[in-house]
Amino acid sequence: MEKLRGNKTTIAIFILPAVCCYLSVAAFPLLCSAVLSFFNWDVAGLNDFVGLKNYMQLFTTDKIFQKAVVHTFAATLLCLAIQIPCAVFLAYLLTRLKRGRNFFKVAFFVPNMISTSAIGILWIFILHPEFGLVNALLRAVGLGQFAHVWLGESDTALVCVILAASWQYIGYHMIIYLCAMQNISSSILEAARIDGATSWQAFRKITFPLIAPILKIDTVLVATGSLRIFDMVFVMTGGGPNHASEVIASHMYTRSFKGMQFGYGSAMSVILMLLCIAVTVFLNMAFKRAEDKVE
């Protein structure tokens, strides 16, 4: 048995195809993009080594990139502030439900089944200045003066895109918290209730600490996901109006595949990757500190 399980040919047949494909299509390109970022590489085949010039340019002269960085961070904070509280709240309500839990679970998850391009278009309709639901609703309740050209005004465009993205993902994160909360043994909560704890106390002292590990993972998930936000921006505004909703990934897309500046685009992709890693490390440290404090 042991001999069979250690047979080199068998192992190679089973694992090598997967590993080779994986390394050549995922790991190798990752490395390439780091190397490319030090080159001035364009469609004409020009490829000079320029050192850190691409990075310097991004942080000194590229005003759109600097705007995009600010927008990306704003978007990330907004996503965290909207998606996580909503998801935790809905999941908590569902755990306290006697019937209908599955119905709500499925209903909230529906937007995750639809492609971002369909959702983006759907939200363009909802926010349409003339027949859109949002403006129609405002007019119906007599708040017509608050109607906006939501995606056409630079103050509202990015926020609207984030709302649409949150609409798509809240159900997903809710399911994650629901799983975590359902793993909590009901006898603990029952004991707390008998001892006279209010539901808020039970949530704060029992449910919340027990879902904290999942909260950490999910916060990282939301943060890194929103740092990379692209599809929704691309479909809904294309970064406009006048770069008001431009994020790092959309700027990278435009520069790389419309401007054919592959070295420059790679520099942005490297920055994006580093940002994701930095934020993950930072969040892990912040959570660790919070845990230590509680203990």
Partner 1 sequence: MKKIKIADLIKYLILLTATLIFVFPLVWVFYNSFKTNSELFANPWNLAQSLSLENYTYAWKQANIGRYFLNSVIVCSISLILCLILSSAAGYALTRLKWKLSDTVMMIFLVGMMIPIHSTLIPLFLMFSRMGIINSHLSLIIPYTVSGMPIAVFIMTGFLKSFPAEIEESAVIDGASMRTVFFHITLPIARPSIATVAIYTFVSMWNEMNYALVFLSDQRKMTVPIGLNAFKGQYSTNYVALFAAVMITILPSLIVFSVFNRQVIEGMTSGAVKG
Residues 252-271 that bind partner 1 (CB under 8 A): 252-253, 256-257, 262, 265-266, 269-270
Identify which of residues 26 and 155 has a Cβ nearer to partner 1 in the complex: 26
Straight-line distance from the first to the last Cα atom of the chain, in angstroms, rounded to the nearest whole number: 48
Give the Cα separation of 112 and 125 in Å (integer).
19
Give the Cα separation of 153 and 199 in Å (integer).
43
Pick the stretch among 65-73, 141-149, 153-161, 167-175 that binds partner 1 (CB under 8 A): 167-175
287 part of the interface to partner 1, by CB under 8 A: no
- Binding residue for partner 1, selected from 162, 180, 202, 244, defined by CB under 8 A: 180
Comparing CA positions, the residue from 207, 175, 176 lying closest to residue 189 is 207
The site that binds partner 1 (CB under 8 A) totals a number of residues, namely 93
Tokens of 154: 């630079």
150 part of the interface to partner 1, by CB under 8 A: no
Residue 107 CB, nearest distance to partner 1 (Å)? 5
Residue 49 sits at φ, ψ, to 5 deg, of -75, 125
Would you tell me how many other CB atoms lie within 10 Å of the CB of residue 214?
17
- Binding residue for partner 1, selected from 54, 79, 218, 254, defined by CB under 8 A: 218
Cα torsion through 27, 28, 33, 38, rounded to 10? 130
163 part of the interface to partner 1, by CB under 8 A: no
Q: Could you say which residues in the range 12-31 bind partner 1, by CB under 8 A? A: 13-15, 17-19, 21-23, 25-30
- Binding residue for partner 1, selected from 56, 93, 188, 281, defined by CB under 8 A: 93
87 part of the interface to partner 1, by CB under 8 A: no
Dihedral (CA of 195, 201, 203, 209) sign: negative
90 part of the interface to partner 1, by CB under 8 A: yes
